[in-house]
Amino acid sequence: MFDYIFFDLDGTLTRSGDGIKKSAAHAIAQVGYPALPDARLDAFVGPPLLESFMRFCGMDEATALRAVQLYRARFEDVGWRENAVYPGIAQLLRALRAAGKYAAIVTAKPERFAVRIAEYFGLAPYLDAVVGIPMNEHHADKAALIARALPAGADKARVVMVGDRKFDVLGAKDAGVSSLAVGYGYGTREELDACAPDFFAETVDDLFPLLGVERPRGRFFTFEGNDGCGKSTQMALIGDWLAERGWEIVRTREPGGCPVAERIRALVLADAADREARAMTAECEALLFAASRAQHVHDVILPALEAGKIVLCDRFLDSSIVYQGYGRELGEDFIRQINVPAQKARPDKTFLYEIDEGAALRRATRDGHADRIEAEGVAYQRLVREAYASLRAKEPERIQVVDGSGTIEEVFARTQRAVADCLNTKE
Ligand code: TYD
């Protein structure tokens, strides 16, 4: 029913309290006022700062103005990054965009900060506008900001202001648009109830139906490559990076990823010195990987995808095709046949880390420890690498090569580009 969705920033899209509270505490100390306890600093998140310094610290206007300057200097320097997007917000903005809705940030923050935050945290591609106050202004009239954010000719009946504080709800009422209060931000329930918002969302999840969009299907990304190629490190880093940007993610790995599969992992990746496990036939090994995967897909991957999450998985079916199909010469067909249950979860994208296999193996075994598979040595790893290359030739759309050479930071920059590209393209 709404075509224009305006979001407050702090406490609605981002959990920005940390940076705001630390910057406020810094300013209070710098102007020589007594420190406030942490809980009282919560009140600084959302409303115009000048008023907050006067009201909560008892400053006169001139001191409060100085405090605002000091606050902004720290915020500009470090505070704006002491921030994270609420989990699920990225999925919500993406769904709104896919449904053709107009989405904007309408905030009492200086517009320059809001734009920078929207860009850094990856929200900008999903927004039609970012509206805030000029740097030299101290009073933010939310209703006026809402009016400014309205595109020419927009029907006010189709506009909703989403926010976590009374300023958002009252501003919406003054501006003649609907109000939707969120319960997960910095406003208390009493504060929000007292101003009677038209709608209320306790969680980010509740916003989907209220804004008339379905949760988009999850995405399944797998990370593949030779032993020691660095994919696990990269997957950990990209997981943090996505979570900070508001994507709900699930990280998992194969073999393993759930209790039953982890038990299978212990057997199939037994130490090279384990003589009983060394007697394992190639077929048995392949079937154990497939068994682990069947359970993992059922217990972890499919439920997460159904819930709209992004699943990051360290190795998947490609590893079996490569290591057992080619490496152990069981053939690709055999591997596909025994992995029928896993084919319910096809990766949307697979990042294949390429690195010289000798260097990679040295890296993987530098602690002097090799598992059964690493103990096969460098010739086996060469086979693995060639098999990955031929899989990639068959499925170039799904399998994307990432150059795994260089420092962790260099490889991470490549990983970020690859992941961001596939999140921003149409499904
Ligand atoms: P792991 O300790 O997870 O190391 P890595 O960081 O290299 O992934 O070991 C997984 C090992 O299991 C690795 O040598 C590849 C092998 N493997 C297979 O042979 N087949 C498979 O289907 C999977 C998932 C892994």
Q: What is the DSSP string of 303-343?
A: HHHHTTPEEEEES-HHHHIIIIIIIT---HHHHHHHTGGGG
Q: How confident is the model at residue 416 (pLDDT cuts 50, 70, 90)?
A: very high
Q: Which atom of ligand 1 is nearest to the CA of 227?
A: 7
Report the candidate in 305, 215, 306, 205 with the shortest Cα–Cα distance to residue 252: 305
User: What pLDDT, on a 0 to 100 scale, did the predictor assign at position 410?
Assistant: 96
| Angle at the Cα of 211 from the Cα atoms of 208 and 215, rounded to 5 degrees | 25
Ligand 1 atom at minimal distance to the Cα of residue 253 = 3
What count of Cα atoms within 13 Å lies in the side-chain half-sphere of residue 52? 24
pLDDT, average across residues 90-101: 95
Chain centroid to CA 311: 11
Q: What share of the chain in percent tops pLDDT 70?
A: 99
The pLDDT value given to residue 323? 94
Confidence band of 138 (pLDDT split at 50, 70, 90): confident
Ligand 1 centre and the CA of 298: distance in Å? 20
8 A C-beta contact, residue 257 and residue 300: yes
Tell me the pLDDT tens digit for each residue of 32-45.
999 999 989 988 98
Contact 180/106 with Cβ under 8 angstroms?
Answer: no
Ligand 1 pocket: which of 224, 269, 334 to mutate (most atoms within 8 A of CB): 269
For range 13-18, the mean pLDDT: 94
372 CA distance to ligand 1 middle (Å): 10
Distance CA 159, CA 141 (A): 18
Residue 426 in tokens:
């149409």
**Two tokens at 399?**
């399998």
Q: Is the pLDDT of residue 297 over 80?
A: yes
At residue 426, does pLDDT exceed 80? no
Q: Is 270 helix (H, G, I), strand (E, B) or coil?
A: coil
Cα 256 to middle of ligand 1, angstroms: 10
The H or E element spanning position 107 is strand 102-110
How confident is the model over 147-187, as pLDDT tens digits? 999 999 999 999 999 999 999 999 999 999 999 999 999 99
Name the DSSP letter for residue 301: I
Encode pLDDT of 220-279 as tens digits. Answer: 999 999 998 999 999 999 999 999 999 999 999 999 999 999 999 999 998 888 888 889
Determine if ligand 1 sits within 6 Å of the CB of residue 319. yes
Strands (E), 183-301: 199-201, 219-225, 249-253
For 304, the token pair is 């997460």
Determine which of 56-65, 131-140, 293-302, 344-353 has the lowest per-residue pLDDT on average.
131-140
Contact 357, 381 (CB under 8 A): yes
Asked whether the whole model's pTM tops 0.95, one would answer: no
> What is residue 306's predicted lDDT score, i.e. its pLDDT?
94
Q: In whole angstroms, give the CA distance from residue 274 to residue 279.
A: 9
Q: Where are the beta strands (DSSP E) in 316-418?
A: 349-354, 399-403
- Where does residue 322 rank: exposed (0-12), middle (13-18), buried (19+ CB within 10 A)? buried
What digits encode the pLDDT tens for the residues 317-369?
Answer: 999 999 999 999 999 999 999 999 999 999 999 999 999 888 888 888 888 88
Return the pLDDT at 135: 82
**380 in contact with ligand 1, CB cutoff 6 A:** no
Query: Which atom of ligand 1 lies closest to the CA of 316?
Result: 24
Report whether pLDDT(422) > 90: no
Q: How many angstroms separate the CA atoms of 271 and 371, rounded?
A: 5
End-to-end CA distance of the chain: 24
DSSP annotation of 156: G
Ligand 1 atom nearest residue 373's Cα: 14
| pLDDT for the residue numbered 334 | 98
Task: Report the separation in Å between the CA atom of 316 and the middle of ligand 1, taken as the mean of its atom positions.
Answer: 9
For residue 254, give the ligand 1 atom closest to its CA.
24
Rounded distance from Cα 270 to ligand 1 centre (Å): 11
Question: What distance in Å separates the CA atoms of residue 354 and residue 184, rounded to the nearest whole number?
Answer: 42
Per-residue pLDDT at 99 exceeds 80: yes
Q: Give the pLDDT confidence score for residue 133 in this predicted structure.
A: 92
Name the residue at shortest CA distance from atom 4 of ligand 1.
Answer: 227
**Is 323 close to ligand 1, i.e. is its CB under 6 Å away?**
yes
Amino acid at 301: I
8 Å CB contact between 205 and 403: no
Model pLDDT, residue 44: 92
Q: Check if the beta carbon of residue 257 is closer than 8 Å to that of residue 220.
A: no
User: Is 388 close to ligand 1, i.e. is its CB under 6 Å away?
Assistant: no
